Structure 1
Amino acid sequence: MNLLYLRVILLGVCCVRPLAATHPSDGHRYGESSYFIVKEKVDWYRAKYICAESRANLAVPKTQSEQDYIWELFLKEFDQNPSTDLWIGCNDIEEEGNWQHCPLKGETNAFENWAEEEPNNDYGADCGSLWVDRNGKWDDYPCNEEIYAVCETTVSNTPKFCLQTGKDGRLVSPEHSSTHH
């Protein structure tokens, strides 16, 4: 196999594949983040894994506008009629009442959107969700239940580039890859 051909293949795998993984084709950009809905019903642990496979995390809204955006995105994905709730990234799995990544009512300078009387730990609920019956308010839900999920990844505004090979097969920097050299 030609060495130049092998280098081109390796560069393509090294440059294109990571870029595709950081921004799934069905991602929706909002601010500095991109979101995508997991459209199969999965438990919270599987949802977290699916997000991680795409170099993302289960989303946790940090502002009312982000909350509204995620909720509208979810509704659009299911023609305004989702059949169940939506996993987000907060939980109190390790210690009951000690919520990770989701603030509790009354915490200063932190956005929270818990429904009235939530979180309440009904039925051992330890994972956060956006509750379809309460128009997206947060609910604690049993982690082993299967519902949809929303993943979030940070989008960088930094331009990305890949190294290129010259006619001689050696790597060249982007500024030296023009046709004038």
Structure 2
Amino acid sequence: MDEEKFQDNFRTYAGRNTVQRPLFVIYILLAVSYLLIVIGFAVTLSKATTLSSQLIETQGKLKKYPTSHDFRLFPCGPDTRQWEYFNGKCYYFSLQAVPWQQAKTKCEEQHAKLVIIDGFPKQNFIQTRTRNERFWIGLHEPQTEEWTWLDGSDYRTGFKYWKQGEPNNYLRRDEDCAQVWINGEWNDYICSSPSYYICEKPLPSTPPASSKGK
């Protein structure tokens, strides 16, 4: 009788042990899986933080040292996209009308000058963009009463594109500043009157090759 009871108790214990062992293994696997997930998340977060820092650093370098690719897309500089490229120089067509002297100052503030028109190629380029509006150019008639280009170019022997009958000091007014107007032809006008203006400057220098690798 005791022997049978012992055998029954042994079978009961063995059955319980058989049930508990798989559960224990499952708990261990779950714990390991959770630990691996936490480690993976930490590693991913660390890499994301590093990549973010590298991206910010790279963006800062690109702003400081634009690449040659940027200059091919935007010859006048990636930060000056309102400037237009033509034949080796950059041109800005203003959206604000101001007197001639103020236009001259505004161009100088951008390390440029009022445009000097020295031939038909530049004349054609300008007149296709001014659309019959008045735009100041870098030609004026100071107290010497002789028309003078701001860069010192020879006016007498140089290119001219005056409208017929201009310059004329209309109604005896002192029209001492030049502008392009209808069909891009030149017109003399009162310097204190507001007009749009065209700035001109050389192409910016591309960054040195040593800067790109830093």
Give the TM-score of the pair, scaled to structure 1.
Answer: 0.66
Give the CA RMSD over aligned residues. Answer: 3.0
Q: Secondary structure at the match of 2:108?
A: helix
Higher strand share goes to which structure?
1
Which amino acid in the other structure matches residue 48 of structure 1? K
Distance in 2, Cα, partners of 1:148 & 1:55:
18
Q: Which runs of 5+ in 2 are unaligned?
A: 1-60
Distance 1:174 1:13, change over 3 A: closer
Q: Which runs of 4+ in 1 moved over 2 A?
A: 11-16, 22-25, 158-162
Distance in 2, Cα, partners of 1:100 & 1:13:
39
- Alignment equivalent of 1:69, drawn from 105, 114, 125: 125
Q: Describe how 1:138-149 pairs up with structure 2 within 5 A.
A: 138-149=186-197
Deviations 1:107-141 (A, max 9, x none): 43x21101112111231000010023xx1111111
- Alignment equivalent of 1:125, drawn from 175, 179, 182: 175
Which amino acid in the other structure matches residue 136 of structure 2? W
Is the CA contact (8 Å cut-off) linking 2:174 and 2:190 kept in structure 1?
yes
Post-superposition shift, 1:50?
A: 1.1
- Alignment equivalent of 1:95, drawn from 144, 147, 154: 144
Q: How many residues align?
A: 142
Which amino acid in the other structure matches residue 137 of structure 1? E
For the pair 1:160 / 2:210, whether they are aligned, the reply is no
Post-superposition shift, 1:100?
A: 0.8
Distance in 2, Cα, partners of 1:55 & 1:111:
25
Higher helix share goes to which structure?
2
Question: Identity over the aligned pairs, expressed in percent?
Answer: 26
Greater RCO structure (CA 8 Å; 6+ sep): 1
Q: Which runs of 5+ in 1 are unaligned?
A: 1-10, 76-81, 163-172
Give the TM-score of the pair, scaled to structure 2.
Answer: 0.57
For the pair 1:114 / 2:170, whether they are aligned, the reply is no
